[in-house]
Amino acid sequence: MPIFQCFSVKKLLLVVTLLFSFSVVSVQAQEASADPKGDYKSSLGQLASLYQNEVAKLEKQQQQSKELYKDGLISRVDFENGEKALDEARARVEKVTKEIALANQPAPVLPPVVGFNSTATELNWSTGSAKIDNLIRYYGRQNGVDPFLIYCTMSQESKFTSNATSYKGAMGLMQLMPDTAARYGVTNPYDVAQSIMGGTRYLKDLLKMFNGRIDLALAGYNAGEGAVMKYGNAIPPYSETRNYVRLILQRYTRKQAS
């Protein structure tokens, strides 16, 4: 009997330890995703480091190729191909450096295009599924995002189809890309609750990043926040993105006005 009791206590301590570890990991994951612009800048920094290492490697190889070319051991075509590869690598470093400089610029304070009006938009909409409707309202209220905006975005993204997959690899109701899903702790993008949670948190971060500008948040959701910043905190000149923003805002503002 004492042995059994000892074994039970050990099992209990193991369970408590595992639960505590899981909680710490969950909190860390949430904290890591609390600053979307910081995540983006960190990704750019990692990319810059990768490109710079590539340039250093190619410069060393090209210096060796130059000597070999002088000695007639490699052809002019091989030497020029090496020069071309080095130029392309340097261009990538220059491009990502400009993107880092742009990301470090403070976002201008812009007037909101559409305000948040929960009382006007809580009524008279449905995805056709009470479960999905309730999850939209739950995660919307939890994150301070208008549930009707989530609804309009979901409609445009997937037409409320939980197993939808785009040709670009976006998945689920909110059409999360793999990197975005991972950023918000979504392990199964086709799970209804996880998809709505991840998509809503992404919208929340985009709205915060662009000072409440719903049009820019939607543009970021479609084309990525980097594209919006690249064009000076404006909707990128992509026909798909501009049409996407126009259609969602058209529906969203019409309902708010009613």
- Residue pair 89/58 in contact (Cβ under 8 Å)? The answer is yes
pLDDT-wise least confident of 38-42, 52-56, 108-112, 251-255: 108-112
Tell me: pLDDT of 137 over 90: yes
Nearest to 236 by CA among 225, 248, 247, 251: 225
Q: Which pLDDT belongs to residue 74?
A: 85
43-72: pLDDT as tens digits: 677 778 888 898 899 999 989 998 888 888
219-242: pLDDT as tens digits: 999 999 999 999 999 999 999 999
Contacts of residue 195, defined as CB under 8 A and 6 or more positions apart, other chains included, come to 162, 171, 172, 173, 174, 176, 186, 189
- Candidates 94, 157, 225, 240; catalytic one: 157
pLDDT, average across residues 238-247: 96
Q: How far apart are CA 173 and CA 161, in angstroms?
A: 6
CB-side exposure of 102: number of CA atoms within 13 Å?
A: 18
Tell me: pLDDT of 154 over 60: yes
The pTM of this model reads 0.59
- Residue pair 228/216 in contact (Cβ under 8 Å)? The answer is yes
1-29: pLDDT as tens digits: 444 444 454 555 454 454 544 444 444 44
Is 157 part of the annotated catalytic residue set? Answer: yes
Q: Which pLDDT belongs to residue 7?
A: 44
Q: Which pLDDT belongs to residue 22?
A: 46
Tokens describing residue 113: 């295009």
Ramachandran area for residue 212 (φ above 0: left; ψ -120 to 50: alpha; else beta): left
83-122: pLDDT as tens digits: 999 899 888 888 778 777 776 766 545 444 444 444 444 5
Q: How far apart are CA 234 and CA 129, in angstroms?
A: 35
192-227: pLDDT as tens digits: 999 999 999 999 999 999 999 999 999 999 999 999
Biggest CA pair distance of the chain:
86
